[in-house]
Chain A
Amino acid sequence: GQNIDQPTEMTATEGAIVQINCTYQTSGFNGLFWYQQHAGEAPTFLSYNVLDGLEEKGRFSSFLSRSKGYSYLLLKELQMKDSASYLCAVRDGSFQKLVFGTGTRLLVSP
């Protein structure tokens, strides 16, 4: 079966660093995506990992270990606008389907 787990909620302070973990067990694997979603809006793409290692893009970095079925999203220099849900999604190998994790609600406080 498909199983993607993330912490339900996290809190952090403005200017700090936060790491959001994602573990997965899926029947196929063709890449892992991280999306940001503000309430009532569609997800917006943050990062994509298909090989092991770290991908850095500005304040956001994402890491993947395929052997461990594990990824994390690292957010640096947190801003109030980073308060949102962060969704981890694994792409099925053969049909391009995305299987979404439970999502992590991040609250950034002053």
Chain B
Amino acid sequence: GAVVSQHPSRVICKSGTSVKIECRSLDFQATTMFWYRQFPKQSLMLMATSNEGSKATYEQGVEKDKFLINHASLTLSTLTVTSAHPEDSSFYICSATTSGKSSEQFFGPGTRLTVL
């Protein structure tokens, strides 16, 4: 199957700093990437949908100025958590898919963010 990587796998930062998480599709071109957040013992919550070369579409309740998403190429999307606070500590997971309605989503391994 297709491989999606995320970097870093874990990050600890101080409150008020910004953190950038990268999501890469390694062996296919991803026209669409999705960013999810998962709090402990909860399910995945979609944050935003990112299409290459266009602005991301954010889900209701997700602050676009706080969670900056850039999908500059068909193999890379980045999520930047700006001015992070302890409540932003979570497991962030990306997924990637190719074009077409029946395309499967391939998930990255996730990034554990801890804000002190």
Residues from chain A with Cβ under 8 Å of B105 in the complex: 96, 98
Q: Which of A26-62 contact B (CB under 8 A)?
A: 30-31, 40-45, 48, 50
CB distance from A66 to the nearest CB of B (A): 16
Are A48 and B110 also in contact (CB < 8 A) when A42-B93, A43-B44, A98-B34 are? Answer: no
**CB atoms of A42 and B43 under 8 A apart:** no
Residues from chain B with Cβ under 8 Å of A96 in the complex: 32, 49, 97, 101, 103, 105
In this complex, what residue of A is CB-closest to B109?
A42
**CB atoms of A42 and B107 under 8 A apart:** yes
Q: Which of B35-53 contact A (CB under 8 A)?
A: 36, 41-46, 49
Residues from chain B with Cβ under 8 Å of A99 in the complex: 46
**CB atoms of A40 and B91 under 8 A apart:** yes
Interface size on B, residues (CB 8 A): 26
Residues from chain A with Cβ under 8 Å of B112 in the complex: 40
- CA separation between A102 and B43, bound complex, in Å? 5
Interface of A is mostly: loop
In the complex, B102 has a CB within 8 A of chain A:
yes
**CB atoms of A87 and B101 under 8 A apart:** no
In the complex, B63 has a CB within 8 A of chain A:
no
Residues from chain B with Cβ under 8 Å of A95 in the complex: 49, 57
- CA separation between A41 and B108, bound complex, in Å? 9
- CA separation between A95 and B59, bound complex, in Å? 12
In this complex, what residue of B is CB-closest to A87?
B43
Task: List A residues at the B interface (Cβ < 8 Å).
Answer: 30-31, 40-45, 48, 50, 87, 89, 93, 95-103, 105
